[in-house]
Amino acid sequence: MSDDPSTSADAPTSADAPTSADSVLPAGVERRTIGGEETLATRGEPVYGEPTDGDWRAWNASRSKLGATFELGMETGLAGGDRVLYLGAAAGTTVSHVADFAGPTYAVEFAPRPTRDLLAVAEPRDRLFPLLKDARAPETYAHVVESDLDAIVQDVATRGQADVAVRNAQFLADDGRLVAAIKARSEDVTADPEAVFDRAVDRLGDAYEVLERRRLEPYHDDHLAVVARPR
């Protein structure tokens, strides 16, 4: 998955109880003490007033579902230098950290207002490409986003989140990874979140083999993180 020899290539084995959470962090993401707090951090231009220490900027897991996914020790399979498609980039909080450790990163966001903030994030990051597109319609950006990507990171808050992941599977390399956050309330505010998650994971099965699923409490309520690879 990675061009970077410093990360262990054959990591994904048992998903249960990783002995050391740090072993699954991509190169370029580190656990550091910034402003007296232990936190995930990446190196890059500060974006949202986050605490910094030299080049390192804190990555607040409560503000980022991918951050929480790392914080909980899930094996995302993401590696430093990965080529990434990020769906639901919003104002760019999380995608800024992804672009810090990854390689070329395509950031898809549909709403103009957050895209304005995303542009400020993309400007100083020369391998971050903002795309004002609807993640439900991949054909509208398949002429820009390259094939055989190492990873899709998804955080779209629309109905049919699993559908979005399935439609975008075409961008992934055979050994690529999907790291998705599924928000229960976006699918159905009244249903039991577990039932919503089961349905979503079931739908993902049309295009992916799900490797690990885990709820993102205490960082994010009623969110499920899913790591999967294309079938």
Partner 1 sequence: MTDSDADSGWFESVPPDDLEVAREVIENGSAESPKDWPKQAVEARFAEDKDNYYDRLHEAANYAARETVKERERADDQQLKHSIRAMDDCERTANELAERAAEWAGSLFADVDAGIEGAREVATRQPDTEAERRAVSLAERAVDLADEAAAIRGFIERTAPSVAPNLAAMAGPVLATRLIALAGGLETLAKKPSGTVQVLGAEDALFAHLEGRAPSPKHGIIFTHEYVRETRPEDRGSAARAVAGKLTIAARIDHYSGDLREEVHEELRDRIATIRARADADEEGDR
**Residues in the site for partner 1, rule: CB under 8 A?**
104, 112-113, 115-120, 122-123, 126-132, 139-140, 142-148, 170-171
- Nearest Cα residue to 229 out of 151, 133, 158: 151
Q: CB within 8 A of 127, min separation 6: which ones?
A: 99, 102, 103, 104, 105
Q: Is 94 annotated as a binding residue?
A: yes
**Choice between 41 and 151, CB closer to partner 1:** 151
**Choice between 156 and 184, CB closer to partner 1:** 156
Residue 124: CB minimum distance to partner 1, A: 11
- Give the H/E segment covering residue 23: none
Cβ atoms 122, 128 nearer than 8 A: yes
Please tell me the distance from the alpha carbon of residue 5 to that of residue 60, in angstroms, as a whole number: 27
Q: CB within 8 A of 60, min separation 6: which ones?
A: 39, 50, 67
Cβ atoms 93, 61 nearer than 8 A: no
Residue 141: CB minimum distance to partner 1, A: 8
Q: What are phi and psi of 127, to 5 degrees?
A: -115, 20
Q: Is 180 annotated as a binding residue?
A: no
Q: Scan for tokens 């007296």, then name that residue.
A: 36
**Choice between 6 and 147, CB closer to partner 1:** 147
Q: Is 17 annotated as a binding residue?
A: no
**Choice between 57 and 213, CB closer to partner 1:** 57
**Choice between 53 and 148, CB closer to partner 1:** 148
Using DSSP, state whether 68 is helix, strand or coil: helix
Q: Is 126 annotated as a binding residue?
A: no
Q: Is 135 annotated as a binding residue?
A: yes
Q: Is 109 annotated as a binding residue?
A: yes
Q: Is 153 annotated as a binding residue?
A: no
Q: Scan for tokens 């740090």, then name that residue.
A: 22
Binding site members = 93-94, 109-110, 134-135, 155-158
Residue ranges for the known binding site for S-adenosyl-L-methionine are 93-94, 109-110, 134-135, 155-158
